[in-house]
Amino acid sequence: MGKRLLLGKNAIITGTARGMGNKMMEVFAENGANIWACARTKNEKLEAQAKELSEKFGVGISVIYFEMTNLDEMRAAVKQIMQTKKPVDILVNNAGITDNTLFQMVTEKNLREQFEVNYFCPFLFTQYIVKLMLRNGKGSIINMASSAGLDGNAGRSVYGASKAAVICATKAIAEELGEKGIRANCIAPGITKTDMIANMSDEVMEETISRTDMKRYGMPLDQANAALFLASDLSSYVTGQTIRVDGCM
């Protein structure tokens, strides 16, 4: 095994039950991080995977369940993390939802749900976790944004706007907390092969892929490796940035 970039560090990752968050859990564990793997509901497959990774790489992985939109559950999860008495070095706000609805078809319910899950909840969760990072005098916050938050794609007016809000908040967090030793950055994935794109038609998939310089979709590992870089000391002078991992769309 080569150099373990996160050896001895403690990371919180949301949305670990599947997709990019699940791959981040694997990559972070392989690189020596102890992990609080967050998911919405009881998941025996995730627990078995966490146990397997713990034993394989000699790290601690605790699965924590809470619904992001339930503030009582969120506070209980934070309390559970605090009770371990371990410093929090890394926070990856990965959990989110996507949407492909034309502007004139967007409902108020849809609008509020997208911002609730993609912006308000990770914003509030970060406020709680930053308090723990401040005790340690350092930390790396990684927020999953989207290329849609930078480009403004058709059918993604709400989703893109919620991710643009994440990008803006991340820049402000970086500016406010930089002198406290806390960094904040975004990853902006392009089309990535996860369950979240399962509802995209073949036609839309092909058209989107054709617009990338690399003529393929990304894989969860592509995003996980970007998160590994931002979580590690390799990026110790990187903050307030949004890194596109999109094959150059």
Tell me the catalytic residues: 159
Nearest in space to 10 (alpha carbons), one of 57, 61, 53, 50: 61
Contact partners, residue 240, CB within 8 Å, separation at least 6? 170, 171, 174, 175, 178, 184, 185
Name the residue type at position 137: G
Query: What is the dihedral angle through the alpha carbons of 88, 91, 95, 96, rounded to the nearest 10 degrees?
Result: 140
- Return the H-helix or E-strand segment holding 75: helix 71-82
Instruction: Characterize the bridge pairing of strands 139-144 and 34-39.
Output: unpaired
